[in-house]
Amino acid sequence: MCKRQKFRKIMTTPRKKFYLKQPSIIPGFGLSMGFTIFYLSIVVLIPLSMLFIKTAEINFSEFWATVTSPRVLHAYYITISCSLAAALVNVVFGLLTAWIIVRYDFPMKKIFDAMVDLPFALPTAVAGIALTSLYAPNGWIGKYLAQYDIQVAFRPAGIIIALIFVGLPFVVRTVQPVLEDMEREMEEAAASLGASRWQTFVYVVLPHIGPALLTGFAMAFARALGEYGSVIFIAGNLPKISEIVPLLIVIKLEQYDYTGATSIAVVMLLFSFVMIFIINLIQKFNYGKMSKQGI
């Protein structure tokens, strides 16, 4: 059957309800899909499964003992709380940044807009040493803060600042397109119905960009949880004070404590997956609500 006849047949037969793959005249599915699966297996699936296989080898009481030891628990607490704080700050200031870029005009706007992507393009190690030099007690900003007895370096505050740096683009770049596409007529309608600007913002704008804000928050939070390079320099890595989970994993590896490192990593991974799952659920719920309201 020549291609033309095959194409005609594909276009005229109704689509089957259950299918593994729709027929098509375009070649190369086997090759491209095969290579994709092969690549993913070698690079992602097999190594990730090693993580879980290794965990299965450890008996549960040893696993539990590692994961609940005081130093590890402190690391979890520090990592999660600092990531949360940084992500929340990023939501507020990220929204502000997106707002002024989309809604306002000011000199050098294009440069500031491009600047938002810098944390994304700059290697984490470079960001780490740069932030440390700024906030160390003799740094430009650290000196100024020391006058007020505020210490940033070697403290959770330093970690939070580093995490704010790496998470900012996620919030801004997720909210910006939604703000750009938003119809101003809705705000005009609210204003004409007597709403103040603040009311319009809270009841009209915020719900519209809510899902994007939430996505940006989730991405910034997830990134912050795993961040290593930009944090280890400014944190000082004092156990129980400013030691983050990724660092603890590296320390265990350097001591050849593979089971310890794996145990800690698995808990971290599971936590990230649960977070992402919850955020996805909330998003689905929000979209469902919005479509019911006919937006």
Partner 1 sequence: MKLINNIFTSRSSTTEAPIIRWAFTLLGLGFLTLVVAMPLIAVFFEAFRKGYDAYIAGITDPYAISAIKLTLLVAGIAVPLNVVFGIAASWAIAKFEFRGKHILITLIDMPFAVSPVISGLIYVLLFGIHSVLGAWLVAHGVQIIFAVPGLVIATVFVTFPFVARELIPLMQEQGTEEEEAAILLGATGWQTFIRITLPNIKWGLLYGVLLCNARAMGEFGAVSVVSGSIKGETTTIPLHVEILYNEYNFVAAFAVASILSILALVTLVLKRVLEIKTGVKGKH
Binding to partner 1, residues 181-220 (CB under 8 A): 184, 187-188, 191-192, 197, 219
d(CA 201, CA 190): 10
What the block records as the tokens of 24 is 């098509």
What the block records as the tokens of 139 is 């740094």
Using the minimum distance from each CB to partner 1, give the nearer residue, 19 or 60.
Answer: 19
Render 206-238 in DSSP notation, one character per residue: HHHHHHHHHHHHHHHHHHHHH--HHHHHHHTT-
Give the helix/strand (H/E) hosting 197.
helix 197-200
Report the residue from 27, 60, 70, 293 that binds partner 1 according to the rule CB under 8 A: 27
Using the minimum distance from each CB to partner 1, give the nearer residue, 155 or 252.
Answer: 252
CB of 188 to partner 1, least distance (A): 5
How many residues bind partner 1, per CB under 8 A? Answer: 100
Give the helix/strand (H/E) hosting 47.
helix 46-57
Three-class DSSP category at 169: helix
What the block records as the tokens of 231 is 């944090």
Report the residue from 1, 104, 149, 291 that binds partner 1 according to the rule CB under 8 A: 104
CB of 115 to partner 1, least distance (A): 5
Using the minimum distance from each CB to partner 1, give the nearer residue, 157 or 265.
Answer: 265
Stretch that binds partner 1, among 45-53, 62-70, 142-150, 206-214 (CB under 8 A): 45-53
| Contact between 177 and partner 1 per CB under 8 A | yes
| Contact between 116 and partner 1 per CB under 8 A | yes
Using the minimum distance from each CB to partner 1, give the nearer residue, 28 or 294.
Answer: 28
- From 271, 220, 279, 276, select the one nearest 245 (Cα to Cα): 271
| Contact between 45 and partner 1 per CB under 8 A | yes
d(CA 223, CA 162): 12
Are the beta carbons of 186 and 204 closer than 8 angstroms? yes
What the block records as the tokens of 76 is 């979890």
Report the residue from 72, 91, 209, 225 that binds partner 1 according to the rule CB under 8 A: 225
CB of 14 to partner 1, least distance (A): 14
End-to-end CA distance of the chain: 48
CB of 235 to partner 1, least distance (A): 14
Q: Which of the 8 DSSP states describes residue 155?
A: S
| Contact between 50 and partner 1 per CB under 8 A | yes
Report the residue from 58, 88, 145, 250 that binds partner 1 according to the rule CB under 8 A: 250
d(CA 37, CA 244): 34
Using the minimum distance from each CB to partner 1, give the nearer residue, 74 or 173.
Answer: 173
| Contact between 121 and partner 1 per CB under 8 A | yes
Chain Cα centroid distance, residue 199: 30
For helices 70-103 and 258-292, the axis angle rounded to 10 degrees is: 40
Report the residue from 115, 238, 278, 281 that binds partner 1 according to the rule CB under 8 A: 115
| Token pair 């809270």: residue | 202
Using the minimum distance from each CB to partner 1, give the nearer residue, 30 or 294.
Answer: 30
Q: What are phi and psi of 109, to 5 degrees?
A: -60, -40
Using the minimum distance from each CB to partner 1, give the nearer residue, 116 or 235.
Answer: 116
Report the residue from 117, 137, 206, 239 that binds partner 1 according to the rule CB under 8 A: 117
Using the minimum distance from each CB to partner 1, give the nearer residue, 134 or 290.
Answer: 134
